[in-house]
Homo-oligomer: A and B are copies of this chain.
Amino acid sequence: MKLKVRRPVIRVPGFRFAGVACGIKQSGRRDVALIVSDVPATAVGVFTTNRVQAAPVRIGRERLRGGRVQVIVVNSGNANAFTGRAGLAAARSMTAVAARALGIDVRLVVPSSTGRIGVQLPREKLGRGILDAVAALAPGGFQSALDGIMTTDAFAKFGVDRVRLGRRDTTIAVLAKGAGMIAPNMATLLVYVLTDAAVTRPALRSALRAALPGSLNAIVVDGDMSTNDTVLVLANGVADNPPLTTSSRGYPAFAAAMAALLRRVARLVVKDGEGATRLVDIVVRGARTAREATRVADTIARSPLCKSAFCGGDPYAGRVVCAAGYSGARFDPDRIDVFLDDVPIVRRGIEVVGANERRANRVAARPEFTLTLDLHAGRATALRMASDLTVDYVRFNSDYRT
C-alpha cells in the first residue's frame, strides 16, 4: 500500500547527513548516503545471519568490534554481495575515501550497501559520490540521507522521539530501508538508530536486544533472508547527560523509545513489502514452547497459500489451521481457536466462519488486522508481522534481477 508519509526536517544534535546521486542507480536517484557524528559515538549493531555475507557486512563487523563509530557510508543500487575479494576491497575503499575526506580514522567508518547482488561496485563513481556527499553534509540532511539508502522502497521509513535523561532533552531517531527479502531475524534492512544521548555500550546493547523480537525480528514479507542486513545504533553523547546505564532512572524510557521506533519502522517495512496490500499481525498463544509458537507464526507468515488468502480478503480458516498443522508444533487440532481481530472463525477445531461471516469478512478486508491462534497446549506466545502475497510481488520479482 502506498502511504503518504510527511517528511519533516529531523535533526539529531551532533550528527550531519548527506544524500547524493553518483550514477549507480540507473534512475539517477540518490544512491550515496553519509551519516557523520561530530565525535566518535558509542556503537552497537546486529548483522545478517546468512552464511553468504556481503562485503560491507564483513567489514562492518570488524569495525564494530572497537565499540565506536563516527561515520556510516552507504551506497544503494548495488549490494556488493557475492563479489569475492574485489568486493571486500571495494567496501574497504569506500570507507577509506570517506575517512580521508573527513579527516577521521578509517576504523571509525562503517560501510553499508544495498541493491543488486553479484555485481562489482563501480569504485570510481562511488568515490566521487562520497566526496560530493562530504561536501553536502548538513545537520538538516536527514531526509536526503534517507533517500540515499532506499532501493525498491515505495516510501521513506523513519521516526524520531525525545527522551528526558538527567535534566537533558535527548533525541533518538531512526533511518531505515527495506521492502523485499524480508525474513524473520532481520531482512534486507538497513536501519540506523542515532541519538545524542550518552549511553554506555552495555545499555545500548541491552536496549537493542530487548527491542528486536517485537520489531525487526518479527517481520516477514517473503521469507528470504538478505546477505546485507545491518542495524547500527550510535550514541554520540553530545546531549551531555550522565552516561546512561541499564540501572539509570532514565533507562526504561530510553529503551522504550528505541523499541517503539524500531517497531514503527518494522511495520513500515512490512507495509511496504513488495506488492503488499495488507499487514497481518499473526499472534500465536497457548503453544507448548516459545520455539513452537514461533514455528506456527512463522509457517503461517511464510505460507504462499495463507499469504494469497490474506490478499484476497477472505476468512481462510482452513489454510491457517492446515499451516499450523504442518509447522511441527505439537497441539490437539480439536482444541484450536482462531480469531480475526475479535471475531472467532474457528472454535475447538471447528470452522465457525459461517456464523460470523459478515463480521469476519469485514475484518479480513481491512488493511491491517490481527490473526490470533490459541493452541491450548501451553503458555508460550509468538508474534509475526506479515504482508500478503500479491500479483504485484510476483510481477516485480520476475522482472527485477538481484
Contacts and interface: CB of A to CB of B under 8 A. Distances in A.
A393 interface: yes
Contacts of A225: 322, 325-326
Nearest to A398: B312
Contacts of A401: 309, 312, 314, 316, 318
B397 A304 contact: yes
B82 A349 contact: yes
A322 B222 CA distance: 13
Contacts of A199: none
A248 B278 CA distance: 60
A170 interface: no
A118 interface: yes
A349 B118 CA distance: 10
A223 to B, nearest CB: 7
Given A316-B401, A401-B316, A322 B226 contact: yes
Given A51-B325, A84-B350, A223-B304, A399 B319 contact: no
Contacts of A322: 50, 52, 81-82, 117, 181, 224-227, 402
A402 B52 contact: no
Interface in A54-84: 79, 81-84
Q: Is the interface of A mostly helix, strand, loop or mixed?
A: loop
A398 B226 CA distance: 27
B224 A303 contact: yes
Interface string A322-337: 1111100111011000
A116 interface: yes
A390 interface: yes
B318 A118 contact: yes
B222 A305 contact: yes
**Max chain B CB contacts within 10 Å: which of A180, A322, A397?**
A322
Interface in A281-304: 302-304
Nearest to A330: B51
Interface in A81-122: 81-84, 116-119
A84 B224 contact: no
A49 interface: yes
B397 A82 contact: no
A321 interface: yes
B324 A52 contact: yes
10 contacts: A51-B330, A52-B324, A82-B350, A84-B334, A117-B322, A227-B325, A304-B394, A311-B398, A312-B397, A394-B394
